[in-house]
Chains A and B, each alone.
Chain A
Amino acid sequence: MIRLEKRAAPSRTWSYLTPLVAVIATMIAGGLMFAALGKDPVEAIRTIFWDPLFGEFAFYYRGQLLVKAGPLILIAIGLALGFRAGIWNIGAEGQYIMGAICGAAVGLAFYPMEARWLIFPLMILGGAVGGFLWAMIPGILKTRFNTNEILVSLLLVYVAEQILASMSLGLLRNPEGAGFPGSRNLRQYESAANNELIAGTGMHWGVVAALIAVIFAYILLSRHIMGFNIRLTGESPRAARFAGVNPNRLILFCLGLSGALAGLAGLFEVAGPAGQISIDFNVGYGFTAIIVAFLGRLHPIGILLAGLLMALTYIGGEAAQSSLGLPSAAIQAFQGMLLFFLLAFDVLTHFRVKFGREAAA
């Protein structure tokens, strides 16, 4: 008989081990699923995890990995700070959209003036402010009226999507686009383009920002009083209050920072890989980043690795679709398994598995 016994304190070893175990379990279960679909499981797993890194076309995929991981990491870093303090910003997708709209609007307002030193920094500022303000809505509603930030931030995603559609069709629509929805292509506007810094590497300013955010968050959490307050509030809200932590300030700080980072991610995406504001500009980075944050154990370095891993499953998954003919739903199920196994094995962090009967009390 198998029993679970609660650990006195969460196991550090297991907390680090579970992501690895989850990845291995996903490979096994995913392999079985691919086999059931009539594909060679070893080849499928190799296509997803190995080929993008070391295969024939790795020169292209490695760069794409950064392009895909950049926004995930940038958003997840912000979310993780809040999650650690028990502040649940689920609406990063909306803040990402609003950052993209505000940043792009700043750039388009200057069109066709060429002054990169001025316009691009202003766009970055616009992106951060857009995401920040959008996150302030659930923030202020929570501190003033004690509303639930999970619901408010999530529902604001749908509002942001409507604004995005309206912007693509109206205010920001390309006047030379023959009536088609979508803004001008920012990549073709020298002063606003967020192009690759070195051609073919995938490295653009958004990826740089993500790396800076990782370092910044690491220092904040380990060296700064704000990081201490965040951790303390997450572990023991009562103790935090006695220690003089102002909960409202902390809520606004965490929501605002995660909103600003999500907004930045949106700006870098719209000025770079996506190129334009269009109706379906957002593809779910804000939601996937939640998985990345947890997969990375809410730790900056962990998030960096988790973001890269998640990007790998996307890129490899796409490759497996076209080269092996795997259905897209199978790839989504595969990614879902990763989160499922992570949560399942997390039990081991908090519980000890015991075999045999419970000793009589």
Chain B
Amino acid sequence: MKKRTFLAGVAATALATAAFAGSHGDGPVKAGFIYVGPIGDGGWTYQHDQGRLAVEAEFGDQVETVYQETVPEGADAERAITQMALQGADIIFTTSFGYMDPTINVAAKFPNVKFEHATGYKTADNVATYDARFYEGRAVIGTIAGHMTESNKIGYIASFPIPEVIQGINSAYLHAKKVNPDVEMSVVWVYTWFDPAKEADAAKALIENGVDVIMQHTDSTAPQAAAAEAEGTVYTFGQASDMGAYAPVPRISSIIDEWSPYYIERVRAVLDGTWESGRHWGGIAEGEVVIGEISEAVPEEVRAEALALRDAIAAGEYHPFTGPINKQDGTPWLAEGEVATDEELLGLNFYVEGITAEIPN
């Protein structure tokens, strides 16, 4: 028994080395995608899958794409990624924060496969990261939210207390406050990226507490559906995807993640043999963060103000985190005119002054 296990181990190692060393031959480039939700979530994963389809449309026969949906973050992710690499993928996009360590682990075993991890901070020779400046979009919808609220209570359905999410909360609050000094923000943490039931519960709880504008950093349309029941008295914003089915109310605008340009660029780099590791962080200017149509429920002057803000961000004239901004405890963060650095934003772990909630700790 012992001998057999040992032999199996040796055989496995030998085979593994052979398989792990192999790269694609003359066939089409194979691009793999690991999704955290179902492709029909109508939000985050849906948008990534649109990016995959754009890659197929762009390159036709030169590229073959594969994907696996609803992959849990953790031990199972490592297997799913390994599986894709074994099946001959040349480039693998892992599209959720929790795939960070698994991606790095698998990448170490497959030096010839390129990996692209969304929203993380660890890179390697064959692992690049990419992310979008969602906080730019939050500034725009925060402005709209500040104008639209009657009760002066804005709700925020948050997923996990990681910098990306905290950036969004801070940005939305700062810009709502700028146009409406009386605004208050309630944050509900649901600890999931996609769970329609939990998201709906969070939305209902917020509405019961008098919130009349809800923003979300979760992927399903459940909060939109919950708000729709309030019959026009509660407004929401599409998240990741346009969620246009809920327009004109409750969905009054949206932040759309547009991954297609990046995916096409990176797959082309693999085709050309010019792929290199790096960190990519695009925003409104790069067309990666798109503000969806602002519906007729929003007054004309508010629409104009929101669009002007969007254009100023796109032109690089305005940064959503421009001082003076204090931290929640009142200590100064950014001085007058000072702009937050990317490093500060990528490690953001505090609220700005005025938010009364606490980051779970």
Contact = CB atoms under 8 A, between A and B. Distances in A.
Interface of A: 57, 59-60, 62-64, 67, 165-166, 169-170, 178-181, 185, 198-201, 203, 269, 273-276, 278-281, 283, 315, 318-319, 321-323, 325, 327-329
B13 interface: yes
Contact of B73 (A198, A278, A322, A325): A278
A283 B68 contact: no
Given A315-B79, A329-B38, A198 B5 contact: yes
A133 to B, nearest CB: 24
Contact of A322 (B12, B87, B97): B87
Nearest to B193: A280
A166 B361 CA distance: 7
A169 B361 contact: yes
Contacts of A327: 38, 69
A60 B9 CA distance: 10
A318 B360 contact: no
Given A170-B360, A170-B361, A181-B160, 10 more contacts: A57-B86, A60-B16, A67-B75, A178-B121, A179-B349, A200-B13, A201-B8, A269-B75, A318-B80, A322-B84
Interface residues of B, number: 46
B149 interface: no
B347 interface: yes
B101 A59 contact: no
A277 to B, nearest CB: 11
10 contacts: A67-B75, A179-B162, A199-B9, A201-B9, A275-B101, A283-B72, A318-B68, A322-B84, A327-B69, A329-B38
A273 B75 contact: yes
Nearest to A327: B69
A281 B74 contact: yes
Interface string B187-214: 0000110000000000000000000000
B13 A283 contact: no
Q: Looking at A201, A269, A315, which has the most chain B CB atoms within 10 Å of its CB? A: A201
Contacts of A280: 72-74, 98, 191-192
B133 to A, nearest CB: 18
Contacts, number: 110
A275 B98 CA distance: 13
Contact of A318 (B11, B38, B83, B361): B83
B34 to A, nearest CB: 9
Nearest to B189: A165
A59 B11 contact: yes
Contact of A278 (B74, B87, B161): B74
A198 B9 contact: yes
Contacts of B348: 179
A274 B75 contact: yes
Contacts of B38: 327-329
A322 B80 contact: yes
Contacts of B347: 178-179
B19 interface: yes
A181 B164 CA distance: 12
Contact of A323 (B11, B12, B87, B97): B87
A182 to B, nearest CB: 9
Nearest to A61: B83
Contacts of A200: 9, 12-13, 16
B66 A201 contact: no
B300 interface: no
B32 interface: yes
Nearest to A276: B101
Given A179-B347, A273-B75, A275-B101, A60 B87 contact: no
Contacts of B160: 181, 279
B85 to A, nearest CB: 10
B220 interface: no
B143 interface: no
Q: Looking at B66, B69, B79, which has the most chain A CB atoms within 10 Å of its CB? A: B79
Contacts of A201: 5, 8-9, 12
B15 interface: yes
Nearest 4 pairs between A and B by C-beta? A179-B349, A273-B75, A200-B12, A59-B12
A329 B163 CA distance: 32
Nearest to A165: B191
A59 B14 CA distance: 10
A185 B75 CA distance: 12
A279 B96 CA distance: 14
A179 B348 CA distance: 8
B72 A60 contact: no
Interface in B6-53: 6, 8-9, 11-13, 15-16, 19, 32, 38
A352 B307 CA distance: 74
A228 B72 CA distance: 41
B131 to A, nearest CB: 14
B284 to A, nearest CB: 25
A200 B161 CA distance: 35
Contacts of B101: 185, 275-276
B67 interface: yes
B19 A57 contact: yes
Interface string B147-188: 000000000000011110000000000000000000000000
B82 interface: yes
Contact of B161 (A63, A169, A185): A169
Given A178-B347, A274-B74, A198 B6 contact: yes
A330 to B, nearest CB: 11
B75 to A, nearest CB: 4
Nearest to A320: B68
Contacts of A328: 38, 68-70
A50 B68 CA distance: 20
Q: Looking at B5, B68, B192, which has the most chain A CB atoms within 10 Å of its CB? A: B68
B106 to A, nearest CB: 11
A322 B74 contact: no
A71 B75 CA distance: 13
A279 B191 contact: yes
